[in-house]
Amino acid sequence: MYVLDASAFINEYHTTEQQATVPLVREELEDESAYRYDAMEGSGMHIHIPEDETVERIERAARETGDLETLSETDIRLVAAAFELDGRLVTDDYAMQNVAEKLEVAVELIAREGISEQRDWRFQCSGCGREFDENHDRCPVCGSDLSRKNPA
């Protein structure tokens, strides 16, 4: 089962395998891409609504990798759908790829190169320079903004 991100509809991704997506993807599409979604739904594409427990599991994994802040609700639900359906996530989104890799969900790329490795991001304070494993609204030590940094 191939689980399609909005970019799959925008880039006219084709496969002969069974396809699925989540309802929120439809809201991200306009014009021809939206018509393509509707046509595929009408011809048998599965519309999947992931369980709340699975969504929470994906959010935990995204928090662990440091990608939670960059993922939309749609992104999280797409990864959850691919996880539940034991499917292949079709996307070019790097944060989604990173979380999918952590959960051992297969990814099919559309138009870009994929990630070369799974990362667990670190967060660094712009004020005091301290580093944290988890993102916070502000540095718990000095109150400055945090930025995501490559752990390597």
pLDDT for residue 115:
47
Asked if 63 and 125 sit in the same domain, the reply is: no
pLDDT for residue 151:
62
Interval 76-86 mean pLDDT? 97
Indicate whether 13 belongs to any domain. yes
Residue 47: partners with Cβ closer than 8 Å, 6 or more residues away: 20, 21, 22, 23, 41
* Whether the model pTM is above 0.75: no
pLDDT digits (tens, 9 = 90+) for 107-141: 998 875 544 555 666 778 888 888 777 766 778 88
pLDDT for residue 112:
59
pLDDT digits (tens, 9 = 90+) for 14-33: 888 999 999 999 999 988 88
pLDDT for residue 132:
77
Residue 123: partners with Cβ closer than 8 Å, 6 or more residues away: 66, 131, 132, 133, 134, 135, 136, 146, 147, 148, 149
Structural domain including 38 reads: 2-108
- More confident position, 13 or 134: 13
Asked if 100 and 125 sit in the same domain, the reply is: no
Indicate whether 116 belongs to any domain. no
Indicate whether 114 belongs to any domain. no
Asked if 56 and 77 sit in the same domain, the reply is: yes
pLDDT for residue 91:
93
Asked if 102 and 43 sit in the same domain, the reply is: yes
What CATH number should be reported for the domain holding residue 150?
2.20.28.10
What CATH number should be reported for the domain holding residue 74?
3.40.50.1010
Indicate whether 147 belongs to any domain. yes
Asked if 19 and 89 sit in the same domain, the reply is: yes
Indicate whether 135 belongs to any domain. yes
Q: Is the pLDDT of residue 148 over 90?
A: no
Indicate whether 131 belongs to any domain. yes
Indicate whether 44 belongs to any domain. yes
Asked if 11 and 73 sit in the same domain, the reply is: yes
